[in-house]
Amino acid sequence: MHLIKQLMAIPGVIAAGEFAYRGDRFSYEGALTSEFARMAAILCRSNTMSVNMQSEIFNSFAENCGCRPAQGWIVRGANASVCNVGNYFAFIENRPELLNDVMTILRAKVGDIGDDLLVNLYAKIGGDVKEALY
């Protein structure tokens, strides 16, 4: 089953989606309008790039410290949370055990994110990645 559908099948998942490259190429399911999903994709892509940069800085001070490359991030809100692993995101309610379940599925299905995040994100929309980026 596709990861987004798998996530949406879990009670308490509000929306789930996938983004690529600049964040403006995306697909999603759930309780978001297309415009809000576009905004969510850009927001998630931006935060992903930010934590990736931070992990590079940490690693430059303590090589092999276990932080690099960044795999994702979580924002825990009062009643809802946003989880992001690689180029997948999920908006979820704060229900008991839901965060752990969603993160387990995301980490298992997305797998470890490789060294070059931008290549990883760009590769999701196909094409000659090296030619387009360098």
Q: Which residues bind another protein (CB under 8 A)?
A: 36, 39, 43, 47, 50-51, 54-55, 57-58, 61-80, 82, 85, 93-94, 96-97, 99-100, 103, 107, 112
Cβ closest to another protein, residue 95 vs residue 124: 95
* Non-local CB neighbours of 16 within 8 Å, separated by 6+ positions: 3, 4, 7, 8, 28, 29, 30, 88, 89, 90, 91
The alpha carbon of 75 is separated from its chain's Cα centroid by a whole number of angstroms, namely 12
- Cβ closer to another protein: 27 or 50? 50
How many Å apart are CA 77 and CA 75, to the nearest integer? 6
Query: Please, what is the minimum distance in Å from the beta carbon of residue 4 to another protein?
Result: 19
Closer to another protein by Cβ: residue 9 or 31: 31
Instruction: Fill in the amino acid letter for 75.
Output: V
To another protein, the closest distance from the beta carbon of 91 in angstroms equals: 8
Nearer to another protein, 63 or 131 (CB): 63
In the complex, least distance from residue 132 CB atom to another protein, rounded to whole angstroms: 26
User: From CA 121, how far away is CA 77, in angstroms rounded?
Assistant: 26
Closest CB to another protein among residues 77, 127: 77
Q: In angstroms, what is the minimal distance from the CB of 23 to another protein?
A: 13
Phi-psi region of 30 (alpha: psi -120 to 50; beta: other; left: phi over 0): left
Minimum distance from CB of 117 to another protein (Å)?
12
Please give the structure tokens belonging to residue 5: 């559908």
